[in-house]
Amino acid sequence: MSEQIDRPGTRAIRSGLFKTDPPRLIGSACRDCGVHTFPAREFCPECGSEQVTPDVALAPTGRLYSFTTVRQAPPGRRTPYNLGYVDLDNDVRVMAQVEADPATLQIGMPLHLRIQTVGRQDDLDLIGYVFIPSDIDQEVPNE
């Protein structure tokens, strides 16, 4: 269940990074070599082509490639929290917070995107994206 990002009192951490219905990160795709990027770019980092399609909804699921658990942070930031690289199912590697007990995280585990409140600034709830472990029954069979 995603939160509304356009309700009063909220603001996206940055515009153009994600949408909520359904929840997806927004990237770009190269029309020449097919590489996807996040955030969206005006050219392809792989082949240099400027023939890129903007506003591409990326896969909401992926696997944990790597992670670290942050145990010390500036004042106002709750710890511990996990930062991970997530390989989305359409081959984009995204850095994001991974919401889970650090002891349960495993390289390669399936994760999915969640849009949620990630902080507060200027009396507004900041809406951003995190990844959370996928339940076994949400896994796609024959993957």
Tell whether residue 49 is a contact of Zn ion (CB under 5 A): yes
Tell whether residue 5 is a contact of Zn ion (CB under 5 A): no
Please identify, among the stretches 45-53, 83-91, 92-100, 110-118, the one whose residues bind Zn ion according to the rule CB under 5 A. Answer: 45-53
Assess contact for 44 and 97: CB atoms under 8 A: no
**Quick one: which of 12, 25, 30, 98 contacts Zn ion (CB under 5 A)?**
30
d(CA 122, CA 17): 20
**Quick one: which of 14, 16, 22, 33 contacts Zn ion (CB under 5 A)?**
33
Peptide linkage before 80 cis (omega within 30 of 0): yes
Q: Least distance from C-beta 91 to Zn ion, angstroms?
A: 12
Tell whether residue 43 is a contact of Zn ion (CB under 5 A): no
Q: Least distance from C-beta 38 to Zn ion, angstroms?
A: 14
d(CA 131, CA 111): 6
Tell whether residue 90 is a contact of Zn ion (CB under 5 A): no
Let me know if 99 is exposed, middle or buried by CB neighbors in 10 A (0-12, 13-18, 19+): middle
**Cα R_g (the chain), whole angstroms:** 16
**Helix (H), strand (E) at residue 20:** strand 18-20
**Quick one: which of 47, 70, 95, 124 contacts Zn ion (CB under 5 A)?**
47
Tell whether residue 56 is a contact of Zn ion (CB under 5 A): no
Q: Could you list the residues that contact Zn ion (CB under 5 A)?
A: 30, 32-33, 35, 44, 46-47, 49
